[in-house]
Amino acid sequence: MAVKLIVGLGNPGPKYQWTRHNAGFMVLDRLSYLAGIAVSKKSFSGLCGEGNWLGEKLILLKPQTFMNLSGRSAAEAIRFHKLSPHDLIVIHDDLDIPFGRVKLKQGGGHAGHNGLRSLTQELGSGDFIRVRIGIGRPVHGDVVNYVLNNFPPEELTALPRLLDGVVDLLEMLAKEGLPKTMSLYNNRDLI
């Protein structure tokens, strides 16, 4: 049975719960609920859960190190389970994709995302699958404030459809693989 480590990126604590930067945590919470895999065990400097879903063993991880040190948590889990970056799927927010859309890709740089920067540094490789959740870019103002602000009410209303759409994407990824999933989901509006 294949083992996949799925890491949702975000910041711990109620202050950040509904912020744009926590899109990865939100998707992981939804997947956890739908797959019946509780993410509550304190392990790997994060909250972790293990279980089977669609014929694969999943390890779900929410680093509790804050975004800038997310790689430390993921690297601990990868070493413990004797996995490689190829067994890793990272779910994160992306400023360069409009809200409601998602993109997948294998490998690449960090594009200024501190969570991805930390992962690449800790793993010594950026060769993992990224599920990039679009949060849009602010028209004016500071990007840091934008990502650390809560989703506005109109986006919060659409968020459940987006999260369910990303879980559907993860299901297709597990069943059909990356190329087919990319062809069907990249740049598709999920809301």
Nearest alpha-carbon partner for 167 in 35, 63, 17: 35
pLDDT values of the chain reduced to their tens digit, one per residue, 191 residues = 578 999 999 999 999 999 999 999 999 999 999 999 999 999 999 999 999 998 889 999 999 999 999 999 999 999 999 999 999 999 999 999 999 999 999 999 888 899 999 999 999 999 999 999 999 999 887 898 999 999 999 999 999 999 999 999 999 999 999 999 999 999 889 99
Q: Is residue 50 part of a domain?
A: yes
Q: Give pTM, 2 decimals.
A: 0.96
Q: Is residue 154 part of a domain?
A: yes
Q: Is residue 167 part of a domain?
A: yes
Active-site residue, 113 included: no
Instruction: Give every CB contact of residue 107 below 8 A, 6+ residues apart in sequence.
Output: 126, 127, 128
The pLDDT value recorded for residue 55 is 87
Q: Which of 21, 81, 110, 140 is catalytic?
A: 21
CATH number at residue 24: 3.40.50.1470
Nearest alpha-carbon partner for 40 in 61, 26, 67, 17: 61
Q: Is residue 190 part of a domain?
A: no
Q: Is residue 30 part of a domain?
A: yes
The pLDDT value recorded for residue 2 is 74
Total domain count, the chain: 1
The pLDDT value recorded for residue 1 is 56
Instruction: Give every CB contact of residue 86 below 8 A, 6+ residues apart in sequence.
Output: 127, 128
Q: Is residue 135 part of a domain?
A: yes
Tokens linked to 31 = 């997947």
Q: Is residue 73 part of a domain?
A: yes
Please identify which residue in the block is written with the tokens 């919470």: 29
Q: Is residue 191 part of a domain?
A: no
Longest dimension (CA), the chain: 48
Question: Which residue segment(s) compose the domain that 70 sits in?
Answer: 3-185
